[in-house]
């Protein structure tokens, strides 16, 4: 089946620094989504991408849908302590089921 | 409602017992999904309902797992003869279009 490779698995950063994470796939997706999950909660949608090459921002977050349709990255600028959590990428071939990456655990040191 | 509601939020059950998990999707969302998340892991697709179409059950791990949905409303996920490896958070999500899912907070199932 389809698999997403998300990296890094975990990262530590200082408050104010920019961070970046990415997902790659051996399969083509026509939708890429990025979610954040806080402890004890379900994932919350951060950014949705629908077109190859699309670059979308949501506040301090920027994500891009790779031209090959097989990858996406998420950047967080000027990280703050509340950015701590687990970030998941997800790829979709329709608005049916999504395939999720394994997550990136982000820790921000004040 | 305003969000996806799942109940119970926590469930502890004895091995071999059946459990039923409930999901109330956002009103008007035609699609409903169940995912399983083991501790420290990503989300594992279980089943997908879209309107009145036949559900996509390709992610159900065994015949002990089943799910139902009536129309575009509530869904229940049933696990029969629970095993310890069934312990996980079961997440429900709904969507109206390809704008991405809205997840509930999940049901944390512990099988002892």
B108: Cβ contacts below 8 Å, ≥ 6 apart: B9, B10, B11, B89
Confidence of residue A30 (pLDDT cuts 50, 70, 90): confident
CA atoms of A16 and A37, how far apart (whole Å): 21
- Across the range A35-58, mean pLDDT stands at 92
SS3 B56: strand
Q: What are phi and psi of A15, to 5 degrees?
A: -55, 135
Question: Would you place residue A24 in the very low, low, confident or very high pLDDT band (cuts 50, 70, 90)?
Answer: very high
pLDDT tens-digit readout, B50-94? 888 889 999 999 999 999 998 888 999 999 999 999 999 999 999
Which of B43, B50, B104 lies nearest to residue A96, judging by beta carbons? B50
* Interface probe, candidates A35, A42, A46, chain B, greatest B C-beta count within 10 A: A42
- Report residue A109 CA to chain centroid gap: 20
> With an 8 Å Cβ cutoff, are B42 and A101 in contact?
yes
Q: What chain B residue is nearest to A95 in terms of C-alpha separation?
A: B98
Q: Which residues contact A14 (CB under 8 A, 6 or more apart)?
A: A79, A108, A109
Q: pLDDT: is A71 or B50 the higher one?
A: A71
- Which residues make beta-bridge pairs with B44? B36
Residues of chain B neighbouring A6 (CB-CB closer than 8 A):
42
Residue the block writes with tokens 């990858």: A71
Give the range among A29-38, A42-51, B90-99 with minimum mean pLDDT. Answer: B90-99
């Amino acid at each position: 089946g389809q698999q997403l490779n998300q990296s890094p698995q975990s990262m530590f950063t200082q408050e104010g620094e920019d961070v970046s994470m990415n997902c790659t796939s051996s399969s083509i997706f026509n939708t890429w989504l990025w979610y954040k999950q806080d402890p004890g909660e379900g994932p919350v949608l951060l950014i949705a991408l629908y077109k190859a090459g699309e670059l979308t921002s949501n506040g301090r977050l920027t994500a891009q849908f790779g031209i090959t349709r097989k990858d996406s990255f998420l950047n967080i600028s000027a990280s703050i302590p509340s950015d701590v959590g687990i970030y998941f990428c997800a790829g979709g071939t329709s608005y049916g089921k999504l395939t999720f990456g394994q997550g990136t655990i982000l820790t921000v040191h004040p | 409602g305003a969000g996806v509601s799942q109940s119970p939020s926590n469930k502890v059950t004895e091995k071999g017992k059946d459990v039923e998990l409930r999901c109330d999707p956002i009103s008007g969302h035609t699609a409903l999904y169940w995912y399983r998340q083991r501790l420290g892991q990503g989300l594992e697709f279980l089943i997908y309902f879209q309107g009145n179409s036949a559900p996509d059950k390709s992610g159900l791990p065994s015949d002990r797992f089943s799910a139902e949905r009536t129309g575009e409303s509530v869904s229940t996920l049933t696990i029969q003869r629970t095993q310890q490896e069934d312990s996980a958070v079961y997440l429900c999500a709904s969507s109206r279009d390809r704008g991405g899912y809205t997840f509930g907070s999940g049901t944390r199932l512990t099988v002892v």
